[in-house]
Amino acid sequence: MPTKLEKLLEILSDNVWHNPQETARILQIPPEKFQNIIKFLADTDLIQHNPATNQIKLNQDWKTLLINQKTSNTETEVSQPYDRAIGTIIIPPQKSLVIQCTRITNLTDISLELEICMDKRISEIAISKIK
């Protein structure tokens, strides 16, 4: 059963502006609480919020990531549907970490967020800035 966040991302993945009141009703979230969620998601650049019209849509960068993930999931579901791990890692500025004998270093002056998908080896890494 998909989570409310997964449902929200699915609703917003069509790249069309959506009415927050209608979206909150579909997700069964109180409108006041959903406005706080919208503010948080807009602040983290996951969605775009137009205050003039009070409409929301998924940020194009995340839409691309979701499309790539769906394509990747479809390909791997055929062979190994449950043999993989997905996680998010935040690497502070000028720090390194090692995952599966692979060193990942952040040489920037800002924290970076890594979305990692792996089965027996790392198969995908998506990087985004943390503001």
**Looking at the chain, which runs of residues are DSSP E strands?**
47-50, 55-58, 85-91, 96-99, 102-105, 112-118, 122-129
Return d(Cα 20, Cα 75) in angstroms, integer.
Answer: 33
Q: What is the pLDDT of residue 89?
A: 84
Instruction: Give the end-to-end CA distance of the chain in Å, rounded to a whole number.
Output: 32
Return d(Cα 62, Cα 46) in angstroms, integer.
Answer: 7
* Distances in whole angstroms, Cα of residue 25 to Cα of each of 20, 58, 97, 109: 8, 18, 42, 41
Q: What is the pLDDT of residue 67?
A: 52
The 10 Å Cβ neighbour count of residue 94 is 10
Mean per-residue pLDDT pooled into runs of 10, the chain (131 residues) = 80 87 93 91 87 87 56 52 73 84 83 79 66 60
Q: What is the pLDDT of residue 18?
A: 94
Asked if 42 and 49 touch (Cβ cutoff 8 Å), the reply is yes
Q: What is the pLDDT of residue 13?
A: 80
Asked if 88 and 65 touch (Cβ cutoff 8 Å), the reply is no
Q: What is the pLDDT of residue 45?
A: 83
- All structural domains of the chain, each given as residue ranges with its CATH number in brackets, are 4-60 (1.10.10.10), 84-129 (no CATH)
